[in-house]
């Protein structure tokens, strides 16, 4: 997994490529979110457009980050789900938990509401 970090206004955007899977990507995702919180960035947008694989550990870490952000008074939202990632979230009904966007501008704007 590779991550590019961007700050757009008050939103930390994480452009993720590759695999969010057990033992590698899941831990990297947690670290990126912890780093954002430590930097005072409580709005996080995960751009998953370049993610090829996410397993149950990656999904679990994403849910864990989502609840951590909520406890801190922040928000974590998702951008650019591929069909496969959408399907993976759909079958466990997590698609109903996350705010999901296809447009980065709309996603960024949604944090202001």
Partner 1 sequence: MLSSYENIELAERVLAELCSANMVESETTYWAGMALREALANAIKHGNKLNPNKRVFVHLALQAGHELRIEVEDEGEGFNPETVADPTAPGNLLRSNGRGVYYMRQFMDEVSFRAGERGGTCIELVKHLNSRRTT
List, in sequence order, the alpha helices (H) in 8-82.
25-38, 56-71
Task: Give yes or no for a contact between 31 and 5, defined as CB atoms under 8 angstroms apart.
Answer: no
Binding of partner 1 by 94 (CB under 8 A): yes
Binding of partner 1 by 22 (CB under 8 A): yes
Cα angle value 71/72/76 (rounded, 5°):
85
* Distance in angstroms (rounded) separating the CA atoms of residues 13 and 36: 10
Q: How far is the CB of 103 from partner 1 (least distance, A)?
A: 25
Positions 48 through 87 that interact with partner 1 (CB under 8 A): 53, 55-57, 59-61, 63-64, 66-67, 84, 87
User: Which spans of this chain sit near partner 1 (rule: CB under 8 A)?
Assistant: 21-24, 53, 55-57, 59-61, 63-64, 66-67, 84, 87-88, 90-94, 97
């Amino acid at each position: 997994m590779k991550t590019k970090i961007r700050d757009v206004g008050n939103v930390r955007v994480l452009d993720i490529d590759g695999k969010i899977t057990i033992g590698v990507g899941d831990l990297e995702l947690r670290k990126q979110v912890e780093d954002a919180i430590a930097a005072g960035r409580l709005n996080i947008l995960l751009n998953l457009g370049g993610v090829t694989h996410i397993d149950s550990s990656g999904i679990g870490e994403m849910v864990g980050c989502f609840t951590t952000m909520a406890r801190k008074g922040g928000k974590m939202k998702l951008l650019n789900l591929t069909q496969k990632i959408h399907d993976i979230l759909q079958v466990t009904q997590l698609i109903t938990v996350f705010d999901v966007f296809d447009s980065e501008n709309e996603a960024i704007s949604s944090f202001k509401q």
